[in-house]
Amino acid sequence: MKATLRILPWIILLIPFVVLGWYYASLPDRMLIVRGLLGNEATFAPKSFFTVFRVPMIEIVCAVAIETMRHRFAHSPGYTAMWSILLYTVALKSLFQAFEVLSSTNYADLFYRMTLGLVAVGMIAALIRGRGFFADGFRGKWELLLADHAILLALLIGYLGLAIVPIFVFGRT
């Protein structure tokens, strides 16, 4: 059972790739790159493998960062649970966003709002579960290995390349 709970978010993270790949041909010619917090401002880009699979790739990058931290602090069950909550949040966020891409406008708005709610609940739950992680007494135990730093730096660069750079490349439309 414990192994299943560790693997399940990674299975959920793969589902958007499969679903978006299955429906790729029927997706619109312009893909949403980013929308404002209230859903009103939007940036679109021509449909390509990059623009279709960009969000699931971003979530994989985030999941690997979370897994790196979860593995590093595996000796503390409460903190492992916090990272697990975040991992499930990222996995479900990716799934909801894939459904948003595949849905009609009305349902896309619903999935957008559900995604915002999911992220808020996931973040609050993780903060409550791991509140001691950020306490002054535990910060001294935040010793990351050089390899952890290198992985996290590479993931940050990957995230910026996937999430931020396309906004500048495709601009606001």
Q: What is the structure's pLDDT at 173? A: 46
Q: How far is Cα 84 from Cα 68, in angstroms, rounded to an integer?
A: 11
Residue ranges making up the domain that contains 18: 2-170
Q: What per-residue confidence (pLDDT) applies to 42? A: 76
pLDDT in tens, 11-58: 999 999 999 999 999 999 999 888 776 656 778 899 999 999 999 999
User: Alpha helix (H) ranges present in the chain?
Assistant: 2-22, 49-72, 77-102, 105-129, 136-139, 146-159, 165-170
Tens place of pLDDT per residue across the chain (173 aa): 577 778 999 999 999 999 999 999 999 999 988 877 665 677 889 999 999 999 999 999 999 999 988 887 777 766 788 889 999 999 999 999 999 999 887 788 888 889 999 999 999 999 888 877 666 555 556 677 888 889 999 999 999 999 888 888 887 54
Cβ neighbours of residue 135 closer than 8 Å, sequence gap 6 or more: none
| Token duo for residue 48 | 């390509």
pLDDT value, residue 39? 56
Note the pTM of the prediction, 2 decimals: 0.85
Total structural domains in the chain?
1
User: What pLDDT was estimated at residue 71?
Assistant: 82
Query: Of 57, 75, 74, nearest to 13 (Cα)?
Result: 57
SS (H, E, C) 57-104: HHHHHHHHHHHHHHHHCCCCHHHHHHHHHHHHHHHHHHHHHHHHHHCC
**Does residue 56 contact residue 98 with C-beta atoms inside 8 Å?**
yes
